[in-house]
Amino acid sequence: MKRFKAVIFDMDGLLLDTERQALVSFNRVCEHLGLGNQEYLFARCIGATREAGWKALEDGLKDKVNIQTFASAWDVLHSQSADEQPIPLKEGVFELLDYLDSHDIPCAIATSTSTKRATLKLSNAGLIDRFAAITCGDHVARSKPFPDIYLRAATVMQADPRECLALEDSENGVRAAVGAGMTVIQIPDLLQPSPELRSLGHIVLDSLHAVRSHRF
């Protein structure tokens, strides 16, 4: 692996297998409210802050349902699901973190999730102590796909963004990291990258395991 000044990780869908839980609860609420298939809206929420996700729901569901009713039902159902079963880690998380530690490459988090929720999730997953810094959606004015979160993470890590590797799963996250000028690896979770996204020229791999052996 190329010597990077820092490796900056997204959280949900990359380290934590949260998006499947979220999609199941999203679909259950849509079914209960008679909205039909709205997974395109779910895709717009992936990688976005709570506020940006709310705006996407407002735009997509206006005149169909009360947005507060929908959002509250989804939040309750998703929280119940997370409480009932621990959030599983994505394959290869600890192996990659151990590899980076062995090469003295510091790691950080750049997530659109709020500080409170991100800290809780990382603590419950046993990952909170593996990162030198955690940058969250409430630390910046603009959410992904704007580059603010990644630029702030690089600043906190005292690293030039051009010397950072960003690891992402979502389209919003990829666009944010590319916009920050970082080398970007996407490991798709629920959605494969579109031809338009691939045109950005970032790297697409199958798993976190593949990051260690990739030739830059």
Q: Which structural domain, as residue segments, surrounds residue 51?
A: 19-84
State the residue for tokens 């409430």: 138
Q: Kindly state the tokens that stand for 144.
A: 């992904």
CATH of the domain at 132: 3.40.50.1000
Output the pLDDT for position 81.
Answer: 62
Report the alpha-carbon distance of residue 69 to residue 157 in Å, rounded: 40
Q: Report pTM.
A: 0.80
Output the pLDDT for position 86.
Answer: 66
Q: Catalytic positions, please?
A: 10
DSSP state of 12: B
Same domain, 46 and 106: no
Q: Give the chain's residues under pLDDT 70.
A: 47, 49, 80-86
In a domain, 207, yes or no: yes
Cβ atoms of 65 and 35 within 8 Å: the answer is yes
Output the pLDDT for position 84.
Answer: 52
Q: How many CB atoms lie within 10 A of CB 158?
A: 10
Same domain, 41 and 116: no
Q: Kindly state the tokens that stand for 202.
A: 């970032």
In a domain, 1, yes or no: no
Same domain, 12 and 103: yes
Same domain, 124 and 208: yes
Same domain, 55 and 159: no
Q: How many CB atoms lie within 10 A of CB 134?
A: 20
